[in-house]
Amino acid sequence: MLDFFAIFSKGGIVLWCFQGAGVAESFAGPVNALIRSVILQERSGNNSFNHNALTLKYKLDNEFELVFVVGFQKILVLTYVDKLIDDIQLQFRDRYKNELEQKGAIKYLINDFEFGDDFQQLLREAEESSRMKDPKVMKTFSQSMKSQKTVKSMIETKGGDKGKEQGGKKNKNAKKEAEEAAGAAPSKSPPASKKAVVNGNQELTKEEILQRNREEMFRRAAAKSGGATRSPKPLKEKEKIKKAKVNRVWDNCGTNTRELDHSKTNGSQDAGDLAREHAEPEMQLESMVGDLRDVDYESSEPEEEEEEEEEEERVVVTEAKKGAKRGGFGGMFGMLKGLVGSKSLSQEDMEPVLDKMKDHLIAKNVAADIAAQLCDSVAKKLEGKVMGTFTTVASTVKQALQESLVQILQPKRRVDILRDVLEARSQRKPFVITFCGVNGVGKSTNLAKISYWLIENGFSVLIAACDTFRAGAVEQLRTHQRRLNSLHPPEKHGGRPAVQLFEKGYGKDAAGIAMEAIAFARNQVFDVVLVDTAGRMQDNAPLMTALAKLIAVNTPDLVLFVGEALVGNEAVDQLVKFNQALADHSMSDRPRLIDGIVLTKFDTIDDKVGAAISMTYITGQPIVFVGTGQTYHDLRSLNARAVVSALMKA
């Protein structure tokens, strides 16, 4: 039933392994995929991992730095696997405790771990325990809660009075008695408020009762403040004229219609005015030659120290209360035990700290599911680990969470666009980048920023206007082209424009336009082709099919997803459905998915940088560019430690 079971150290040394009968494939490939995709990337919140046709389940032993992995076919449903891993971990630890406590990695090589007989016995016990469980018998209709419901029990009453559940006859009698009591003393009828109290609010709805309570509250508040508030006196005619609305005057506009009318000057602006217009942004922009600057944040060490001190006090107080019950010396020992590393961490110790961490991450715009998985991963990473001397639970958990976040944000592969463009130039072909994303995230704007960065580094750029749906999309790119060429005149590039626009208008096939643009760039020897696509929601199947077709037909060198930093849970949904759509509508066995992320509007979120964590965690792809402003030079690369510092800031 099992394909393999392996026990190895976190350093990569296999201590013992088992391979099932008839299994020819080595377990090295699936285990290496588990290490690369889960353990090294701090994604151990879920103890299950799928690789091709296999399902791998694993457990970490943080005290002895061991990993227990079992693999079986994905189509099988083995209910005893979790119990088997737990039993094998305990048995292996107990049997080889002395060998595992030795220092250094040489202990794994000099000791012989013969665990075959114990494994077979534990496997038989786990299989028998799963067979011994009787199948769950379905309840009969008489045993279910549905059979106990009657028509009378499903009738809802207005006031929720239990007396009404016994039928309407009693209510009618109560009404008759109330009418007789009212007829006996017609001259002394109680006020409405008292009458409602006598009747038990039976004739009032919930909304009427709430309205009455509000009026009573306002009346009491007015009585305390010195009487009922007086209504303002009506304004006189002169005062009305004085308080009439005044028209707003904008700083950059005139005060009359003649100054606002620019129709006579349209199309007649001379060359001097155009040069002046184009020279203003040039004076403000800075050089972007070479790699991009990192996003920088101030360190949050003071806030972290304050939180650590608060958590330290909480731990000491808790341990002191426990020790006080054991005696005077027990309280002092409990206080020291909370600080000195004398015990291993357990799930109960970390649970209150992890709950606070999860709420903090969600408040920083991390998706709720991602925050929960991160905290679970940290708990599994630290469970059983011995704390350092004079360290608190809060500081240990926070340090582990920071390391996990930095590991997630750091790219898993080399991302060097300048080097890739030079390599493509040596092969006499253009380097193609495709931009995709939802509506309004800033694809065209950040495409222009990336164009400016590439031109600054000496490359020629061709922009392919493949957004043939949105009105004004081609005109927007043409405006960016004109501005970029004014900043980098053709005289500086051998009489050739630094950036050109390839467009075929609206209503055309985007995949065909991209193919023609790439062929044009190859013939005209352009270095880079930037393909702008139409914004589309992740739920729009026809548009997602068209995007998958564009990417499958043209095979760009880089597919960048453009997402804004303002989103929270929506970022996960967007990326998952974009990747899924590209995989479903692809014509290849190995579909082309998203290669990187462009994070826009990063200057609008202050320290709520959780969208960066959510996007990189769900895709495993790096954030290549970060948009931080409205000018062409407001383009940065992601600094993982700076972002984590802002994320952990209180």
Q: What is the pLDDT of residue 133?
A: 61
Identify residue 304 by its one-letter amino acid code: E
Nearest CA to 192 out of 209, 217, 174 is that of: 209
Q: CA 1, CA 40: separation in Å to the nearest integer?
A: 28
Contact 567, 602 (CB under 8 A): no
Q: Percentage helix, strand, coil, to 5, in the chain?
A: 50, 10, 40
For residue 325, CA distances in Å to 315, 318, 328, 336, 493 come to 16, 12, 8, 16, 83
How many CB atoms neighbour CB 265 within 10 A? Answer: 9
- H or E segment and range at residue 85: helix 81-95
Identify residue 269 by its one-letter amino acid code: Q
Counting Cα atoms < 13 Å in the Cβ hemisphere of 215 gives: 7
> Any idea which residue has 């694993």 for tokens?
58
CA–centroid distance for 568 within its chain: 6
Per-residue pLDDT reduced to its tens digit, 517-554: 999 999 999 999 999 999 988 888 888 888 988 998 89
Q: Kindly report the pTM of this predicted structure.
A: 0.65
DSSP string, 298-341: ---HHHHHHHHHHHHHHHHHHHHHHHHTT-HHHHHHHHHHHHS-
Positive or negative torsion for Cα 394, 398, 401, 407: negative
> Any idea which residue has 């996007």 for tokens?
615
Look up residue 235 and give its two tokens: 């304004």
Q: CA 608, CA 588: separation in Å to the nearest integer?
A: 39
Contacts of 372 (CB under 8 A, 6+ apart): 45, 358
Give me the residues paired with residue 436 across strands.
Answer: 561
Describe the strand order of the beta sheet including 2-9 as a list of residue ranges: 14-19, 2-9, 66-73, 54-61, 48-51
Taking CA 433 as the corner, what is the angle to CA 292 and CA 36, rounded to the nearest 5 degrees? 75
Low-confidence ranges of the chain (pLDDT < 70): 44-45, 132-136, 151-204, 224-287, 296-343, 388-390
Look up residue 76 and give its two tokens: 């099988």
Q: CA 108, CA 5: separation in Å to the nearest integer?
A: 18
For residue 116, CA distances in Å to 24, 58, 432 come to 19, 19, 55
How many CB atoms neighbour CB 419 within 10 A? Answer: 10
272: left (phi over 0), alpha (psi -120 to 50) or beta: alpha
Nearest CA to 535 out of 564, 556, 513, 515 is that of: 564
Q: CA 561, CA 612: separation in Å to the nearest integer?
A: 13
Q: What is the pLDDT of residue 296?
A: 65
Q: CA 643, CA 649: separation in Å to the nearest integer?
A: 10
533: left (phi over 0), alpha (psi -120 to 50) or beta: beta
Look up residue 229 and give its two tokens: 């508030």
Nearest CA to 104 out of 68, 69, 65, 67 is that of: 65
Per the document, the length of the chain is 650
Per-residue pLDDT reduced to its tens digit, 58-112: 988 888 888 999 999 888 888 888 889 999 999 998 888 888 887 777 777 777 7
3-state secondary structure of 468: coil
Q: What is the DSSP letter of 537?
A: -
